[in-house]
Amino acid sequence: MKPVCVLGAGMTGLAAARELEAAGAPVRLFEREDVPGGVCGSLCQAGFTFDATGHLFHASRPETEAYLEDLGLWEKMVRHERRAAVWIDRHQTPYPIQINTWGLAPETRRDCLLGFIRAWAAGGGEPENFRQWVLDRFGEGLAKHFFFPYNEKLYRIGCEDLSLDWVGRYVPRPDLEEVVDGALGLHRGGAGYNAHFHYPREGGIRLLPDTMASRCRSLELGAEVRAIHLGQKWLELGSGERVEYSALILTNGLPWICDLLLDELPKEIAAARKALRWIRVLNVALGVEGEAPTDQHWLYFPDPELPFYRVGFPSNHGRLAPEGCHTVSIEVSMDPGSAEVEKEAPAAEAALADIGLLQPGRIRSRVIQVIDPAYVVYDHYRREALELLLPWLREHHLLPSGRWAEWKYSAMEDAIADGRKSASAVLELQGS
Ligand SMILES: Cc1cc2nc3c(=O)[nH]c(=O)nc-3n(C[C@H](O)[C@H](O)[C@H](O)COP(=O)(O)OP(=O)(O)OC[C@H]3O[C@@H](n4cnc5c(N)ncnc54)[C@H](O)[C@@H]3O)c2cc1C
């Protein structure tokens, strides 16, 4: 019997393969790297553990907790209440900024509050892009001081070029009372999808994929899928082996799925593939001597003068550094293909030192990573491109699954759900 094949042993592929194995289906899981986990991995160096930037687990579905419990992972995770802040003009105020402007400079706070009140009074229209949506919901002050510069730094395009397809879950909407209370410093607890999170007590985030992989008999490491023949339903590995599949679940990025296909792509499919946009993230991960300069888990930096959009202090939520040391993760957004790493990494460190959050002389360990792809850009072409690409691939018995293959913004919890859902879809099709 031909196996179900799964490309990629990140969280999505591991979840899919485990599900298929449990149902007794023949399955082969191919991972090109020598370790499982994909972007949910951790590197160890000189006693420090570094994730690919902050990787914090949000369990919003009841079945997620049960899934991790079954793997013996839940008891190894610690719950943390989020400590995150926004840094503007050397002032720091808790995140989300829209209900916490009290920590900002008085003029900035006034701008934000007045702008919000005016937008609230205007009642809002029918925004067609992220720029209008922000102005309608949050007003000019919050737009100018946070939402515009932060999102333009991260996504590297104007806010008018971003669609609204991603905002619902990730950008909390406050009411007027919350915003006024927030300007006066009257706290009411966390808001948003990440008000608390779970993280392994030790071992870094790779504890999750490592544990899943240890229960996965079908995993083959160092096995890169080099080509796929849609018509004849086989794939070719780097070793030259050809594997015929009954179904193929793919978890790599959608553009690269298209590039693996040996069959000629219809014109509109090739055009849709070209329209997909994303950004890379340069992660400068540092192990530093001494106490962390802040107890925050991470800080957001909208200021266009600073090269980074976010800086995390991961050892504030896990045992990731030797006694008396801490870890820092500096995140810089970069266009795909640009080769600026050698310039950007030292510039990011220097800028962090300049605002007093890093002592360069105390750096003991450094890992520089480029995460590519890192974030899908939700521009106005994305939806149209997906409406062509995803059904076309499914018609050809391929199942794109997870953050990159479905070309979306999603988290580790979603990866587990996506992988399991794809496995169920295959099993249903095959009548098991
Ligand atoms: C900067 C950043 C920060 C994030 N922070 C968080 C967070 O705090 N919390 C959270 O929940 N989520 C976070 N995420 C999202 C989370 O990492 C992803 O949702 C999840 O890890 C995606 O898993 P995946 O298996 O779909 O993809 P991946 O992890 O990318 O796995 C795909 C796998 O496919 C393999 N592969 C690719 N091509 C081939 C090939 N040709 N042959 C064989 N193997 C191949 C790759 O090596 C990789 O192992 C973050 C993501 C990024 C980029």
Q: How far is the CA of 257 from the centre of ligand 1 (A)?
A: 15
Q: How far is the CA of 401 from the centre of ligand 1 (A)?
A: 11
Is pLDDT above 90 for 360? yes
Q: Which of 127, 159, 176 is the last residue of a domain?
A: 176
Cβ–ligand 1 contact at 253 (below 6 Å): no
Which residue bears the tokens 């080769």? 339
Cβ–ligand 1 contact at 417 (below 6 Å): no
123 shares its domain with 252 = no
Q: How far is the CA of 112 from the centre of ligand 1 (A)?
A: 36
Give the SS3 label for residue 334: strand
Residue 402 lies in a domain: yes
Note the pLDDT tens digit of each residue in 107-117.
999 999 999 99
Q: How far is the CA of 130 from the centre of ligand 1 (A)?
A: 26
- Residue 237 tokens, joined: 């590995």
Cβ–ligand 1 contact at 219 (below 6 Å): no
The residue contributing the CA closest to ligand 1 atom 31 is 10
Residue 213 belongs to domain spanning = 4-41+206-275+379-429
294: phi then psi, degrees, rounded to nearest 5: -150, 155
The residue contributing the CA closest to ligand 1 atom 41 is 225
Residue 179: enclosing H or E segment and its boundaries? helix 176-184
Percent of the chain beyond pLDDT 70?
97
The residue contributing the CA closest to ligand 1 atom 20 is 412
Cβ–ligand 1 contact at 55 (below 6 Å): yes
By DSSP bridging, strand 48-51 and strand 42-45 are antiparallel
Q: What is the pLDDT of residue 190?
A: 57
CA proximity to 3, closest of 155, 220, 156: 220
212 shares its domain with 164 = no
Report residue 181 CA to chain centroid gap.
31
List the helix and strand counts (H, then E) for the chain. Answer: 13, 19
Q: Which of 158, 176, 194 is the last residue of a domain?
A: 176
Question: What are the DSSP calls for 10-22, one per residue?
Answer: BHHHHHHHHHHHH
Distances (CA, A) of 6 to 62, 68, 251: 26, 21, 8
Residue 324 lies in a domain: no
Percent of the chain beyond pLDDT 90?
90
- Residue 279 tokens, joined: 């950004």
Residue 72 lies in a domain: no
Q: How far is the CA of 254 from the centre of ligand 1 (A)?
A: 13
73, amino acid identity: L
Cβ–ligand 1 contact at 208 (below 6 Å): no
Note the pLDDT tens digit of each residue in 150-209.
999 999 999 999 999 988 766 666 889 999 999 998 876 555 557 899 999 999 999 999
Average pLDDT rounded to a whole number, residues 370-399: 96
> Considering its fold, how many domains does the chain have in total?
2
Note the pLDDT tens digit of each residue in 250-303.
999 999 999 999 988 999 999 999 999 999 999 999 999 999 999 999 999 999
Q: How far is the CA of 132 from the centre of ligand 1 (A)?
A: 31
pTM of the model: 0.95
What CATH number should be reported for the domain holding residue 225?
A: 3.50.50.60
